[in-house]
Every structure is written in structure tokens, then in C-alpha cells.
Amino acid sequence: MESNGKHSITATVESADGSPIVYGVRGHGEPAIVFVHCWTCNHSFWDPQLDYFASHYQVVWLDLAGHGKSGSHRQQYTMAAFGQDVAAVVNRIGAKKVILVGHSMGGPVIVEAAKLLGDRVIGIVGVDTFYTPFEYPTNQEAIAQFVEPFETDFHATSDKLLRSMFTPQADPAVVDAIIAKFSSADPKVGISAMYQLFDWNAHQASSDLAHFADILYNINASPTGKESPANAHVTMIPGVGHFVAQVKPAEFNKALEAIIETVTK
């Protein structure tokens, strides 16, 4: 265990399959806010949120297995296995009350983690996930067709996909900086996780989201400003694409703060 500046502690814990998961903790108090990154990225996507919320809460970051600084002993990167990564960190730090925040693929991951952590989870916050216009392939043939270009040329296909997730008005320098964070992704991890993400959405999303409906919230993008929230637990951030927290951190932090206040009343 080591200090990582700004009163941060960085350490490693083994996930259920022995994969070494690197995580960090800053701040104090309850609930602990646990930030889970998206597909093929890493914890640094949450830096503006960690800086902001550490003054009032204990904030926790981690790199999922096969991502960022974390190692991996697994062959299949399922949402359930990623959920075990999150649960391992929460169990290690001993948090009694937890709010899980997950961007994109991190949404299904935190739902899987919530199944393992039980009543300790008082809030689940998906970020541009679940109630979005993105059409996931729903059968094996459609999934295979979607993933095939990634198997042929992973980095070029990923770059094209990621660039499509910004509004035309997005600052090109911000876009490039965000996409650069994906450049070290392992194609084997990315392809497996993509298959598993689509499979989760096809077979588990509807029942799991219904099960957690009372504590499930979303902060989603409204690129044109005209998109409507799917339900009363969804907050829309106008004028931004998929990377809500990174492109509009102040607006995102305000929305998350409001959700934290709601679930801690």
C-alpha cells in the first residue's frame, strides 16, 4: 500500500479469480463513492470527480481486471467477473454504505457488484448507460457482426466508434485527449468484454434494472438538448455526447451531488 499524493492511498486486492486489482482511496466519510470506468479505459477518466468529491466523501477508484494498472488471470471478461473486482475493493476497504457510479460498460458492472454487496449499496448511478439511444445487438449473430471489425483491426475500429460518441461541437483537443486514453487497450480484453457486455444487455438488463429500480439513477447525455429522460431517476446533461463526466465535469458533478443528497436523506 502506498500514498499517491492528495492524501490518496493506492493498493492492490485480489478479485475472486485471483486477478490483481489496483485501487485507490481518498477522503473520508460515508457513503463511499466508488467510480467504475468504461470499456477499455481506466480510472483516470474520473480524475475531475475524485478531486471534487474527495473533500466531502471517501472516494474510491479502481482499474477493472485487464485495464489500466490491474492485471488479469481470466479468459472471459464478463460483467459478473468485473462486478467481483468492484466487490473485492469495497470489501477490502470495509465500506458500510456505498454509492456505485459506472460509466457506459461500468453500468452493468456496478449492477453486478450490487448483487454481491447487498444492503451496503444505497445508490447505483449509471452514466450514459442503460436508458440511451444506442442499439445493442441482441442475438449471437448480430453480436458477431458488430464485433467482427474489432477483431480485424481493433484500434482503428475503436477509434472510429469513440469519435462517433462526441457532438460535432466538441473541442477537438478534448476529443483527442480522451481517445488517447484508450490507446493502450488490450484487444483480447476489449473484444471479450464487448461480447459479454452485449450478452448482458440482451439477457439480464431488463430484469436486473427492474430489481434495482428504487436505488438506480442515471446521468445521461442529451446531445441536442431535446432528448427526454426515460424516467424520473434519469438526469439529462444537454449539449454533450457519451463522455459526459469528462467533457462537462462541472455539470456532471452537480448532477451526481444531487443524486447523492437524494439517496442519503
CATH number, domain with residue 62: 3.40.50.1820
**Tell me, what's the pLDDT at 6?**
52
Asked if omega into 137 is within 30° of 0 (cis), the reply is no
Q: Is 1 helix (H, G, I), strand (E, B) or coil?
A: coil
- Provide the pLDDT confidence category of residue 142 given band limits of 50, 70 and 90: very high
- Number of domains present in the structure of the chain: 1
The domain in which residue 149 lies consists of: 2-264
Average confidence score pLDDT of the chain: 94
User: CB–CB of 219/80 below 8 Å?
Assistant: no
* Per-residue pLDDT at 1 exceeds 50: no
93: confidence class by pLDDT, cuts 50, 70, 90: very high
Percentage of the chain surpassing pLDDT 90? Answer: 90
Q: Is 60 exceeded by the pLDDT of residue 213?
A: yes
**Does the pLDDT at position 109 exceed 90?**
yes
pLDDT confidence bin for 3, thresholds 50/70/90:
very low
pTM of the model: 0.95
Residues in the chain: 265
Mean pLDDT of 141-155: 95
**What letters, b where the CB count within 10 A reaches 16 and e where it falls short, cover 117-142?**
beebbbbbbbbbbbbbeeeebeeeee
Q: Is the dihedral of CA 163, 166, 172, 175 positive or negative?
A: negative
